[in-house]
Amino acid sequence: MFRGYVQVYTGNGKGKTTAAVGQIVRAVGRGLRVFFAQFIKSKETGELIALRSFGDLIVCKQYGRGFVFGKPTTEDIEAARVGFNEVTTAVLSGQYQIVVLDEINAAVSAGLIESSILTALIHNKPACVELILTGRAAPDEVLACADLVTECKEVKHYYNSTVAAREGIEF
């Protein structure tokens, strides 16, 4: 029987979503079903386009209106909560072996989702579901619940030289 764990990819460096997408590709290669949920992000990203090409092994959803700077709007909070309810249903459904909550840590940090409901989902997930959480500023209580934590550390980034996000590389 498949035993699922909780993986967290956090930190200020690049590569958190990319690590999760790599895990998805590996899982789909072995016939596992995946639910991929992006919080905060609202653009049609390269990873969404690629993952949708795998067909019915992956369900991809976005629950965001863009990155939140400052106080979140009611609409931002509602989009995240609708998404979290759908993700909870997916985790508990038994239909998916892998569930990815991309940028969920950022959603918690921005005040869109309470960390207590995220940790409740972690504690209530079926043993056969691998839960992958990405985003900067993972809350300490989420880190404490995780089985694997990887911190992506920025050493140098071309953003600091005013290089804009590039299609196919950053989105």
| Secondary structure percentages of the chain, helix, strand, coil, to 5 | 40, 20, 40
The pLDDT of residue 79 is 93
Give the position of tokens 């709007």: 73
Highest mean pLDDT out of 14-23, 150-159, 161-170? 14-23
pLDDT bin (cut points 50, 70, 90) of residue 150 is very high
pLDDT at 1 > cutoff 70: no
Tokens representing residue 43 in the block: 């653009």
End-to-end Cα spacing for the chain: 36
For 31-62, letters b (16+ CB in 10 Å) and e give ebbbbbbbbbbeeebebbeebeeeeebbbbeb
pLDDT at 160 > cutoff 80: no
pLDDT bin (cut points 50, 70, 90) of residue 41 is confident
Summarize the confidence of residues 41-68 as an average pLDDT.
90
pLDDT bin (cut points 50, 70, 90) of residue 151 is very high
- The letter for the amino acid at 92 is L
Kindly report the pTM of this predicted structure: 0.92
More confident residue, 72 or 146: 146
**Where do the domains of the chain lie, and which CATH numbers do they carry?**
11-127+141-161 (3.40.50.300)
Distance CA 130, CA 97 (A): 6
115-124 helix and 74-93 helix, angle to the nearest 10 degrees: 10
Ranges of H-type helices in the chain: 16-29, 46-52, 74-93, 104-109, 115-124, 140-145
The pLDDT of residue 96 is 97
Backbone angles phi, psi at 152, to 5 degrees: -90, 115
The pLDDT of residue 48 is 92
Q: What is the pLDDT of residues 85-138, one digit of tens each?
A: 999 999 999 999 999 999 999 999 999 999 999 999 999 999 999 999 999 999
